[in-house]
Amino acid sequence: MTGTATPIPPATPVAAQPPAGFARPVRNWIRARRLLLGGIGCAFALVIAVRTLHSGNGAFERAEKLLVEIRQMDARWTVEVLSLELGQMGNYDAITRPVPWLRTAFIQLSEVTRDLPISGIERDRLQSLSRTADSGIAGKTELVERALSQYAILNNSLRFLPTASRDLLQAINSADLSVEKKADAGALLASLLSDTMASFNRDDGAARGRIEATRHALQALVAPVASLTPQAEALFTHTDITVQQRRVGSELLDRIVRLPTTATIDTLRDAYTQAGAVHLRRESLQDDVAVGFGAILLILLAYLGWQLVIDIRRLKDSNVQLKREHEEAQVQLIQSAKMSGLGQMVAGIAHEINTPLAYVKATFSVLQDLLSAQFPEVCAAQPGEEPVVKEKPSAAFLQDIKVLLEDGFYGVAQISNLITSMKNFSRLDRTTFGDFSLPEILEGALTISNYRVKHVADVVKNFEDVPPIRCTPSQIGQVFLNIVSNAAAAMVDRPTRGTLTITMRMEDPKTVRVDISDNGTGIPSHILPRIFDPFFSTKRVGEGTGLGLSICYEIVRNHGGKLLVASEEGVGTTFSLLLPILGATAEATERKLATA
């Protein structure tokens, strides 16, 4: 009976999990140190960031420089405005130009203040102080503008006064007036002119009263003469303008001089200087803290470095030890798996031998029966006693015996065959390494596991010609035995007989591929990645060690090959063995078996 052939999914590689590296406390320590290092890095970055942010980029220096310039410009401006008093007719650009300059300077100061590394309250205080100074400048500008207008008029009138006096004098001289009156008018005119001119330099109430009196006397004198009116009007107008503008002008200049702009600017400068000093103190404190913090970080870093050196040394030691222990453990594993394999084998062999043995026994029993029926005296004879044969054995009797003996030999030959197989397979304690025929190894494994397979499945073999491969045959046999046993176990629960399909072909000119497919229960996909893990088993406790496949994996890897598995639940499982023809090295296998 042959089970229905089921398509087997293509083999996909499932890598074995690497051995779990370090113990948990060691891993925790490594993680903690990594965190600590990250923390130190962050702290350093923070220190640098704080230092950069708080450096202020020389904003204080810029503010101080601006304030010095503002103060100088304001002072120069005052000087220019005061020079109006000197009566120098000229170019007022020097008086006007400081205004836009100062306006721009205060805008710049406000912008610089915005960049200052100070608190919001402090900044508001400075801004408010500088607004005060700025509005002080604005007030001064207004006064200066008015003063300019006044002095322009004043200068004009002053310049015109001599001309106007001369014109009036000429008119008086040619007018219809008495000589006395002409003389009086001339005297009054001279006094008015000199007093008015003088008032430019010395302006006081007395002078103003004198001018007023003279003006009235002169007016009374010339008023009756109509022809003098225009000249007199011109003179009086400009006299009035001179006196009035002089008063207004000097008042304005007085107010300008008394303006507290310089003091306001000085206060402002003091405030900035103070804020700068406070900032400098705070910054140097921050510097100290940052340096101290940096030093602590450096010490911590050095400590960590030292710890790292110690750890590396310790890790190296434990690595060597682990490697040694790992090798010992592996050897022991293989050994224990071997013992388990031997146990299975003994069971298998015993079962296998039983059949031919029973056959031989039956043959011998028939032979004995035949003999005792024909020659009872021979059978009844005591040991050491010569039996008396009454008659010659018949030809038919001899023929029967011959057949029976042949049957017995056949049975013995079968047992002998089995023993040979077992011997081939059990050369475990001999380091055999060389070129061996893969089909022979496979046949041996099949023979040994036959007692398990024959009841559950038919074996279909598709062997192509493959060259011998360099290997340790007992190990490769163990792999086959393991896989075939697993396959048989997987097919036990099938309602019908299963099929174990074994194909052997060349994967490529250097590699032999053996696929062992069953149509058993398959391996659940969540288990599949773990089947090569050591101590992983789905069998009940006592039925398996959980080491079989992990050792298979190890053996194949040692031979430079690959062990792949593909499985689908309810469909079947395929193990694929890829073995390079010249893969294994004597050293690799020898090392594994040195202590086995």
Partner 1 sequence: MRLDARRDHHRTRRAGFVALLCAVSVIAWEGLLHGQAREPIEPIPLHQDLDPRKVMLGEGLFGDPRLSEDGKVACTSCHLLNRGGADVRPLSIGAEGRAMSVNTLTVFNSALNFPKNWEGNADSLDAQLGMVVHDDRILNTTWPRLIARLSADTALVSKFQKVYPDGVTQATITDALTTYEQSLTTPNAQFDRWLRGDAAALKPDELAGYQLFKGYGCVSCHQGVNVGGNMFQVLGVVGERGAYFTARGHITNADYGRFNVTGAEADRFVFRVPSLRNVALTAPYLHDGSAATLPDVVRIMFKYQLGRTADQHDVDLIVKFLHTLTGEYQGKPLDADDPTRSGQEAARR
Cβ proximity to partner 1: between 28 and 88 the closer is: 88
Cβ proximity to partner 1: between 52 and 91 the closer is: 91
Place of tokens 């222990």: 325
Give every strand in the sheet of 562-568, ordered side by side.
457-463, 498-508, 511-518, 572-580, 562-568
Can you tell me whether residue 389 is helix, strand or coil? coil
Please say whether the beta carbons of 184 and 221 come within 8 A.
yes
Cβ proximity to partner 1: between 149 and 191 the closer is: 149
Closest separation between CB of residue 214 and partner 1, Å?
20
Please say whether the beta carbons of 567 and 520 come within 8 A.
no
Cβ proximity to partner 1: between 43 and 94 the closer is: 94
Helix (H) or strand (E) holding 504: strand 498-508
Contact residues toward partner 1 (CB under 8 A) are 75-76, 78-80, 82-83, 86, 88-93, 95-97, 99-100, 103, 142, 145-146, 148-149, 152-153, 155-157, 159-160, 234, 237-238, 241, 262
Closest separation between CB of residue 109 and partner 1, Å?
16
CA atoms within 13 A on the CB side of 581: 11
The CA dihedral of 189, 191, 194, 200, to the nearest 10 degrees, is -100
DSSP character string of 447-478? HHHHHHHTTTEEEEEEEPP---EEE-HHHHHH
Closest separation between CB of residue 233 and partner 1, Å?
9
Closest separation between CB of residue 270 and partner 1, Å?
9
Give 410: exposed, middle or buried? Use CB within 10 Å, 0-12, 13-18, 19+: middle
Please say whether the beta carbons of 498 and 469 come within 8 A.
no
Can you tell me whether residue 579 is helix, strand or coil? strand
Cβ proximity to partner 1: between 17 and 72 the closer is: 72
Closest separation between CB of residue 70 and partner 1, Å?
15
Cβ proximity to partner 1: between 103 and 255 the closer is: 103
Cβ proximity to partner 1: between 153 and 213 the closer is: 153
- 191: tokens are 């006094």
Q: How far is CA 522 from the centre of its chain?
A: 43
Closest separation between CB of residue 20 and partner 1, Å?
59
Closest separation between CB of residue 132 and partner 1, Å?
19
Q: What value, to the nearest 5°, has the Cα angle with vertex 473 and ends 471 and 478?
A: 120
Q: What value, to the nearest 5°, has the Cα angle with vertex 484 and ends 13 and 587?
A: 65
CA distance 411 to 513: 36
Enumerate residues 6+ apart whose C-beta is below 8 A from 231.
164, 167, 168, 171
Cβ proximity to partner 1: between 13 and 260 the closer is: 260
Closest separation between CB of residue 154 and partner 1, Å?
9
φ, ψ (nearest 5 deg) of residue 434: 175, -165
Axis-axis angle for helices 229-258, 120-174 (nearest 10):
160
Q: Name the nearest CA neighbour of 263 among 84, 83, 74.
A: 74
CA atoms within 13 A on the CB side of 305: 7
Can you tell me whether residue 441 is helix, strand or coil? helix
Closest separation between CB of residue 31 and partner 1, Å?
48
Can you tell me whether residue 366 is helix, strand or coil? helix
Closest separation between CB of residue 151 and partner 1, Å?
8
Closest separation between CB of residue 139 and partner 1, Å?
12
Enumerate residues 6+ apart whose C-beta is below 8 A from 587.
none
Cβ proximity to partner 1: between 265 and 415 the closer is: 265
Cβ proximity to partner 1: between 82 and 308 the closer is: 82
Closest separation between CB of residue 234 and partner 1, Å?
7
Cβ proximity to partner 1: between 265 and 571 the closer is: 265
Cβ proximity to partner 1: between 86 and 289 the closer is: 86
Place of tokens 């047992």: 415
Question: Distances from the Cα of 320 to the Cαs of 24, 48, 310, 314, in angstroms?
Answer: 19, 43, 16, 10
Closest separation between CB of residue 200 and partner 1, Å?
14
Closest separation between CB of residue 180 and partner 1, Å?
31
Cβ proximity to partner 1: between 262 and 431 the closer is: 262
Cβ proximity to partner 1: between 265 and 457 the closer is: 265
DSSP character string of 230-258? HHHHHHHHHHHHHHHHHHHHHHHHHHHHH
Q: Name the nearest CA neighbour of 80 among 72, 70, 92, 69.
A: 92
